[in-house]
Structure 1
């Protein structure tokens, strides 16, 4: 599952003043009874918060509450008073972290460590959760019961293939999901299932199902964390871990809190002022809406995701490249082959456009340099082992929105034609989505899912079209 990634959290060292606050906050730990009025309608949440108290997980109930009334389909954290920057809202000791070293079957996993090695390093956590989620005596029962059956995670990998390709046509998500599923099937069949069959006494019968395995993977994908200081190539690396309470925080690009990794604990800290009744948001990393939908099952409405981006398919670039006809056909073909050989472009995406302009600026500068070379210069370029612009020469060009209007006319024409081809495709998909009625067969839950999937697809594509529109406006300034 090399294409699957967990949350990417910003890590900063606490300054001296913030560190001094730790002792003061310890004395403010309230009893769970003090917040019963906030949670009496959710017994599972109440049990989880009691579990937190018993396991020395600190939540500052003077400042925040955990509730289901948030932007999330599950739980979230909300401020109950104005919060200043750099205030500690929660502390999770490492003893409360669920990972392969804290599960009840840690010895079994340790004895099979070499067998359970995988590129993603997820397999050990997968079997840990499979065991703990189905063990009525699990130390983690109250935590894991907050996610019943793992049916809440409606990631695209759970969509029907026809629906995935139809709703997300002309985006990169269907291809990435199919890669994920292929990797998951290989890992399940060749590693997880043989391990389960060898150790049947530790696992419920539902674990012997690829669909259940997918749900566990979806849970880990949406909620796990990695220690950013851990070397993923280290054979003793823990890999992804589940961090209770921290994983309740939902994501927005302009987050107001973050998780900070310390030696013996994790801290939830405000990074800006948070007003009373505002939700406390973490960031899962600098993810585009395509990444957010792919890995977490949601998107942000344009223009709120400052990290949103749109990948222009290579097929559109090649079509525009040939359309311009600045070179004889055989020269244009050779230039395209050269771009592929130099790995300046791949078979799936070419130009990547974000809020600030072209994000893969370095590669695109080389691409446009080769594109605009006269035939004689291109022949000399090939003879000189394809030596490209040196760093100093890049300073006279910028592909960011602020200065992109200054680039050569032939570069502009290529970019404009490439973007138009993709825009036409996206508009066709969006029009199809707008005329689509969600499937009504099945139960009410499935109806809601289909409506939500349609809305997510429309929001994703609408944002990509607006990104391209803003970019072209700057190009033509």
Structure 2
């Protein structure tokens, strides 16, 4: 394996030497790790030097060679601290503390030092935590702006620093917010949830009793590592793969002794080996990892806020906001509907997803169907609370059956199309056009603007596809047909009730 004498290449070679020698990572001679030859944005990548067959092993790493709260020297040298990490701290907090310990206190003496040298530096990270308010504004009107999580990160920073103080790790008391964000961003982008081979859910209660005996009750809030079936871990070599929702050809698998990267498709010589981070849209890829798929993610979606759906309901049905809010409140809070009909599955959400493959959140369609029929009921505003509850019980049950059978009413379809149209009108006109040829050029003043525009184009396409596919996905029926079915349910219930009463009279 030959490298140029650049600093990045030397760091890569030292990492490989460390991984294969110190960490005993087995790496197939059919692949190579190097800086991407043509695309600086992709950084390091793994290329196939020979054809690799589906099912073939690409590399294997022993469980003791990954970095987590069990393998860190902070835990291996301090059994009591190890108990704290396993039973008291959450996954994120524990892993961040041990990484900070290895980075800031152990430094070059750390077992993981060559691994840290190939981690991305702050200057090269483009996840949304690093965007300025002005840069984030370019993502308007995407809902991803509300999910950046700075407040949550601040709270976690306080938790981590409290743990540092509790453990008397004095050299870490000077860790800055910027250093914390860097480590947390690396964990978000590159960590794996490694399955625990020793996890037995049936023994959880017994484990909790042992924790209490040791004074390790979970009072800090986060779910402890010991209660879960996985351990959040940094996995050398596995995190060197780039990801692509369309081109994924390898996945990390688990055995009791090791983690194995396996080809899930035939990979030809010269092809890049790709993993997948999850079924994420471009907005989530940017938020979590700082990149987008320029031609769109396989799992792209846009979000319609509930407020926009309600606005469409008002426009289509010519009704007041008050009666809609009352119906939404009954659906959410009346136990006869929430628990008995919906079985505690929420229907009224803050927003609803519309996917690039044309699928619309069934919760959105069901809710629109309920409101469409409800507001066609004469004098619905005059119904008593009991009368409205009884009616909604029947309607919600029938609406669920109808949507599950891919059947909706014409007014329901009109509401959904109006909501999609309202949402599309919020997006700037340039996001309806194809991207310029150089939209993926990194390291330019326009780069983050291009990233933001790509996210917005992905969302626009998702809304457009959802609009186009609605009438082909669902059979449209007259609203009177569905209302008649709801009335038929009531007549049947009344008939059964009368029969029951007659039977009781005859027994007397």
TM-score of the pair, normalised by structure 2: 0.74
Hey, what's the Cα distance between the residues in 2 that align with 1:148 and 1:383? 56
Hey, what's the Cα distance between the residues in 1 that align with 2:85 and 2:59? 37
Q: Secondary structure at the match of 1:84?
A: coil
1:136 aligns with 2:129: no
Superposition RMSD in Å: 3.3
Hey, what's the Cα distance between the residues in 2 that align with 1:316 and 1:362? 15
Compared with structure 1, are the counterparts of its residues 93 and 426 closer, same or farther at alpha carbon in structure 2 (3 Å cutoff)? Answer: same
Contact 1:366 1:389 in 2 (8 A): no
Q: Secondary structure at the match of 1:239?
A: strand
Pairing partner for 1:290 from 269, 272, 283: 283
Hey, what's the Cα distance between the residues in 1 that align with 2:268 and 2:325? 58
Match of 2:119 in 1: 147
Hey, what's the Cα distance between the residues in 2 that align with 1:183 and 1:460? 23
1:474 aligns with 2:469: yes
Aligned residue runs from structure 1 range 14-413, under 5 A: 35=1, 37-38=2-3, 40-41=5-6, 42-54=9-21, 55-61=23-29, 63-69=30-36, 72-106=41-75, 107-108=77-78, 110-111=80-81, 113-114=83-84, 120-134=90-104, 135-147=107-119, 149-164=121-136, 166-177=137-148, 180-189=149-158, 191-197=159-165, 203=171, 208-228=175-195, 235=226, 237=228, 239-254=231-246, 255-303=248-296, 305-327=297-319, 330-338=322-330, 341=333, 343-346=346-349, 348-349=350-351, 351-362=352-363, 364-373=365-374, 374-375=376-377, 379=383, 382-384=388-390, 386-387=392-393, 394=400, 396-397=402-403, 407-413=408-414
What 5-or-longer segments of structure 2 have no aligned partner? 202-222, 339-345, 473-508
Match of 1:5 in 2: none
Hey, what's the Cα distance between the residues in 2 that align with 1:213 and 1:273? 40
Deviation at 1:89, TM superposition (A): 0.6
Hey, what's the Cα distance between the residues in 2 that align with 1:243 and 1:218? 15
Question: In terms of mean alpha carbon deviation, does 112-121 or 89-98 score higher?
Answer: 112-121
1:448 aligns with 2:425: no
Deviation at 1:196, TM superposition (A): 2.9
Deviation at 1:182, TM superposition (A): 0.9
Contact 1:122 1:239 in 2 (8 A): no
Match of 2:215 in 1: none
Deviation at 1:367, TM superposition (A): 3.9
Q: Secondary structure at the match of 2:108?
A: coil
Compared with structure 1, are the counterparts of its residues 311 and 366 closer, same or farther at alpha carbon in structure 2 (3 Å cutoff)? Answer: same
> What does the per-residue CA deviation read over 1:150-189, in whole Å, with 9 as the maximum and x for residues that have no partner?
433221011112321x111111222111xx2112212222
